């Protein structure tokens, strides 16, 4: 029996919004180096979603995990606080990334 994979549409939409806010913040030079680094990781995860959808392998899980870790570190360093939209979207995106990682473990264990 095939296991239905969860929709990645909410995650993709949040990543796209977060990417936009990162680009705006980079233009404003607000912690640009750290934000450019986050942008690079967001792009990698978005590319994975485009090519793989909800299916994950070790490399896609590693990219999602790295993005989460970078976002959490940036949040602790208050880099994301420089822009209200960026901070708000990060707060929405982190749980979506965690859920995406959790769904891959459940799916992989089946």
User: pLDDT tens-digit profile of 69-107?
Assistant: 999 999 999 989 888 999 999 999 999 999 998 876 644
**Cβ(42)–Cβ(22) below 8 Å:** yes
In a domain, residue 42? The reply is: yes
Residue 4 inside a domain? The answer is no
Host domain of residue 85: 11-109
Determine the pLDDT at residue 30: 61
Global pTM value: 0.85
- 27 Cβ contact list (under 8 Å, min separation 6): none
pLDDT tens column, 60-70: 999 999 999 99
Q: Please state, in angstroms and rounded to a whole number, the distance separating the CA atoms of residues 61 and 84.
A: 28
User: What's the whole-number mean pLDDT along residues 18-38?
Assistant: 87
Residue 47 CA to residue 44 CA, distance in Å, equals 5
- Structural domain count, the chain: 1
Domain for residue 5, yes or no? no
Does the residue 1 lie in any domain? no
**90, two tokens:** 């990060």
Is the distance from CB of 38 to CB of 93 less than 8 angstroms?
no
- C-beta of residue 87 within 8 angstroms of C-beta of residue 21: no
Mean pLDDT value of segment 1-10: 70
- 3-class DSSP state of 83: coil
């Amino acid at each position: 029996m095939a296991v239905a994979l969860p929709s990645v549409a909410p995650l993709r939409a949040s990543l796209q919004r977060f990417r936009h806010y990162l680009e705006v913040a980079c233009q404003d030079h607000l912690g640009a180096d750290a934000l450019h680094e986050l942008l690079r990781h967001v792009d990698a995860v978005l590319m994975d979603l485009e090519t793989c959808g909800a299916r994950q392998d070790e490399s896609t899980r590693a990219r999602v995990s790295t993005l989460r870790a970078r976002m959490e570190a940036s949040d602790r360093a208050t880099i994301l606080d420089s822009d209200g939209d960026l901070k708000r979207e990060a707060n929405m995106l982190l749980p979506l990334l965690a859920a995406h990682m959790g769904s891959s473990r459940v799916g992989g264990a089946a």
